[in-house]
Structure 1
Amino acid sequence: MSFRESYLLWKLAYELISSGRYQLIYESHNGKELWLEKVEGHEEADLIHLNQYDLDWSNWLRQHTDLSIDQALDIKQSLYKKNLSVLNVYITPYPPVDDGFAPLSEWYHPTDSPGLSWYTLILDQADQDKTLNIISQMSGCKWKQPFLITPDEHDVLQLREYTKQWATHQRQTIEKTFQNGKPIFTYLFVAIQLAVFAWMELEGSSEDPRTLLEFGAKFNPLILAGEWYRLITPIFIHIGVLHLLMNTMALYYLGTLVERIFGSVRFFFIYMIAGIMGSIASFAFSPNLSAGASGAIFGCFGALLYFGMLQPKLFLRTLGYNIFIVIALNLALGFAIPGIDNAGHIGGLVGGFTATGIVHFPKKFRFFTQIIFLFLTFGIGAGLLYSGAQNGVKAEEGTYLAQMAQGYVEEENFEKAYKLLNSYDFDNGEPSADIYFMMSYIEIQWQQYELAATHLKKVIEIDPKYHQAYYNLALLYYHDGKIEEAYEFATQARDIKPNDEQYRSLVDELTQFVGGEL
């Protein structure tokens, strides 16, 4: 009984797998077919299909080849490859007895299988050495040991066992890639953002801008006023239940994956740098009040992209192109739906990618590359900070700040309202009529009439149509006994808004005094 064909099947598999150039991805139930995928190399065949059959008729060979092509197309789809080359090897004692099938001497491209390149070899007794040389060239694998001429059953079993051990080792190596850490910090971050949200709801409402500000949401005027911690605290703050739930689920699924790949310490660094970079990008490009873990979560996407860049085959086999689709979809929604801080998302994505480049993979070092990523991260962050600082504070941000202060005023918490208004960058920001008006209102409550009048005049300088400022100035001068000045400002308020009953009533009242003096 000859064991030649079984021996060649497992000998070839062992040589290809133990070389590190290929890995076993499928074994048929009958043990006569093996599919091997290329791990490294560029010019070699992407797949090698080893078949151990006694070929009798060429018609059976053609039918089996067609089935193998269908299998290859399924594998091509699962590997997300546009083009796939397959070396198809039949190990047989003798070629088919008829002349209906001739081995190919060049790559064949099936017309109904776009992107597929096919090469069939018949490894029979007559041309064994020649065919083995071709396989060596097309696989990029040099045989470690010579092939036995008369192998026995022990040789076959031994090679089969060795091959299985190597295949198991390869699988375990892949599995270890996703076992570098337990999701300790992922669960910690989830717990923190849930606890902060509950605390915010107890103190007020997570959707109240004042509560958000008190807990450290990102707001450019306050950052420019020196509250730089607002580049960190927004990572743990969420606006409403839906925002919290979406980010918590995303963090749970993405965070656990990234933490298992890169380890807990590296994940902590990646997540925080990505979150901070998202806040900085938002500071540079968005004037809105914002908060949320979205930037840090997009940083997890950035970490996975880094993983895919360095280990593309493993990335596509385990995660696939779905990651790209999810990233693109989320960014598209950010541009399409008003109120979403896409600058923070993109900043987090970039920050996560560069932060991962700094820490690299566990137990692996690329000192020069890691230093480049370190400078790149600091460079991008510094550039965005400078850009945000140069933008200064916009007038609309002053209006928003005044609206938030209005809430404190309604609660008669004048101290907190005034402190909030004074955080506005008056020297470098755009002049804000609303800020000065709200300050004057509080100053009037404190009976600081002279200061209030000064600020009301600033309001009029900025916005000559600000009728409330004219009216309040008229009241201040009326209170101070300066009737003519009061009459002048009251008249201007009435002219700007003639249908206002208060304005007309004040003008009528002052007219009597002015008329009497005349």
Structure 2
Amino acid sequence: MESYIKDLIQNLCDYCGYNIVEIEKIDGVYVNWGVYKRIENELDVVFFSDLDSSYKLDINELKIYFKKYLQCENLKLSEVMVDDRLKVIEDENGNFHLNHKINPQCELILINNVDNKILYFSEAIKEKANELASCMNHIGNSKRSREKQETPIVTYVLIGLNVLMYLITAYLSGNIVDSNINVLVFLGAKVNELIKGGEYYRFITCMFLHGGIIHLALNMFALKSLGPLIEQVYGKVKYIIIYFLSGILSSIFSYMFSTSVSIGASGAIFGLLGAALILALKMKGSIGKGFMTNILSVIAVNLFMGFSIPNVDNFGHLGGLIGGIITSFLLSRV
């Protein structure tokens, strides 16, 4: 509840022109912050309480404090009681009343913070109630926005699978830093001769193997940075399709154009970059050209680094990028 009141205070300051006033320990006040603003020659002061604290309130003590603190004799105090136990109930005669007895000592507004609703307000401060309702609407929208931001579970599962396979590789290699090539081949690396012999599963298993702790860390950082965006925009099912088809096409390109043993999630990650590029192209009118420029820059830099550094499977990267572009383009039309 305290965080809810703090959000209300912040919104009153941001949207309604109030200022924060500190309240020293005074019985009947729930938090040690209130708000005030000047209306003509009067200071309009709002403080906050709850059901448990309100009955302890001495309004005269509070007035003396505010007059001294704010250096103003002409004050109008309003109490905003916030409590999730406050309810409006209907009796057997069809009349509505509060489920708790309230004895206000000044103008009063009652709020249920869980329902995010104003239950009652004194008629004299209807305008203030409207201000609070507007602030509560901001709180509700922020809460709904946070709820919509689902946990990127698919990304975390993919990262978990990669880390698990690396731990198995490290155990079998007897080395946590570097992976033994024979262990990688045993666990499913892309080896052209073995694929020719019918071990087609290697097109997929090689996507979850890494040659060392640095290799794993860089790929997982890229996946954690890019994966949640693609997962949120395309949805979990399409995200999985993009990831795996990009990874498989990456393996196929590597098989067709490179004879080296190949491993790593980077082909699938390049596929996510391709998906991000399609997203940037489709939404360039609303998100601007900057996002697309950034994606193109990331792709260009990674391809350049790939061609500049030895033992990097550039054909796998290109295959993954092409796979991501094609797959996400087709899925975006479904």
**Category of TM-score, reference length = shorter chain:** 0.5 to 0.7
Quote how far apart the aligned CAs of 1:320 are: 4.6
**Structure-2 residue corresponding to 1:282:** 254
8 Å contact kept, 1:181–1:259: no
Answering whether residue 245 of structure 2 is matched by residue 273 of structure 1, we say yes
Answering whether residue 203 of structure 2 is matched by residue 231 of structure 1, we say yes
Deviations 1:66-99 (A, max 9, x none): xxxxxxxxxxxxxxxxxxxxxxxxxxxxxxxxxx
Give the alignment's TM-score, normalised by structure 1. Answer: 0.35
Identical-pair percentage: 38
Task: Name the stretch that deviates more: 248-257 or 311-320.
Answer: 311-320
**What does 1:437-516 correspond to in 2, within 5 Å?**
none
8 Å contact kept, 2:226–2:272: yes
**Structure-2 residue corresponding to 1:199:** 168
Question: Distance between the aligned counterparts of 1:318 and 1:264, measured in 2?
Answer: 26
**Structure-1 residue corresponding to 2:323:** 351
The 1:195–1:183 alpha-carbon spacing in structure 2 relative to 1, beyond 3 Å, is same
The 1:274–1:315 alpha-carbon spacing in structure 2 relative to 1, beyond 3 Å, is farther
8 Å contact kept, 1:255–1:300: yes
Deviations 1:238-292 (A, max 9, x none): 1001100000100001111111111111111110111111111111111100100
8 Å contact kept, 2:254–2:316: yes
**Structure-2 residue corresponding to 1:243:** 215
Name the aligned partner's letter for residue 190 of structure 1: I
Deviations 1:286-317 (A, max 9, x none): 11001000000001101011111211133436
1:187 equivalent among 131, 151, 156: 156
Question: Distance between the aligned counterparts of 1:331 and 1:242, measured in 2?
Answer: 18
Quote how far apart the aligned CAs of 1:343 are: 0.5
8 Å contact kept, 1:274–1:295: yes
Which secondary structure does the structure 2 equivalent of 1:291 belong to? Answer: coil
Question: Distance between the aligned counterparts of 1:284 and 1:203, measured in 2?
Answer: 29
Which secondary structure does the structure 2 equivalent of 1:357 belong to? Answer: helix
Gaps of 5+ in 1: 1-28, 30-163, 361-365, 368-518
Quote how far apart the aligned CAs of 1:359 are: 2.0
Gaps of 5+ in 2: 1-14, 16-133
Q: Of the two structures, which has the highest relative contact order with CA contacts closer than 8 Å and spacing of 6 or more?
A: 2
8 Å contact kept, 2:277–2:292: no
Name the aligned partner's letter for residue 205 of structure 2: T
Question: Distance between the aligned counterparts of 1:198 and 1:288, measured in 2?
Answer: 23
The 1:181–1:279 alpha-carbon spacing in structure 2 relative to 1, beyond 3 Å, is farther
Name the aligned partner's letter for residue 201 of structure 1: A
Give the alignment's TM-score, normalised by structure 2. Answer: 0.54
Which secondary structure does the structure 1 equivalent of 2:183 belong to? Answer: helix
Name the aligned partner's letter for residue 210 of structure 1: N
The 1:207–1:331 alpha-carbon spacing in structure 2 relative to 1, beyond 3 Å, is same
1:310 equivalent among 279, 282, 285: 282
Name the aligned partner's letter for residue 345 of structure 1: H
**Structure-2 residue corresponding to 1:262:** 234
The 1:327–1:280 alpha-carbon spacing in structure 2 relative to 1, beyond 3 Å, is same
8 Å contact kept, 1:179–1:260: no
8 Å contact kept, 2:281–2:292: no
**Larger Rg computed on CA atoms:** 1
Which secondary structure does the structure 2 equivalent of 1:232 belong to? Answer: helix
| Structure with higher strand content | 2
8 Å contact kept, 2:209–2:263: yes
Name the aligned partner's letter for residue 286 of structure 1: S
8 Å contact kept, 1:179–1:261: no
Question: Distance between the aligned counterparts of 2:301 and 2:209, measured in 1?
Answer: 24
Deviations 1:457-502 (A, max 9, x none): xxxxxxxxxxxxxxxxxxxxxxxxxxxxxxxxxxxxxxxxxxxxxx
Question: Distance between the aligned counterparts of 1:220 and 1:274, measured in 2?
Answer: 19
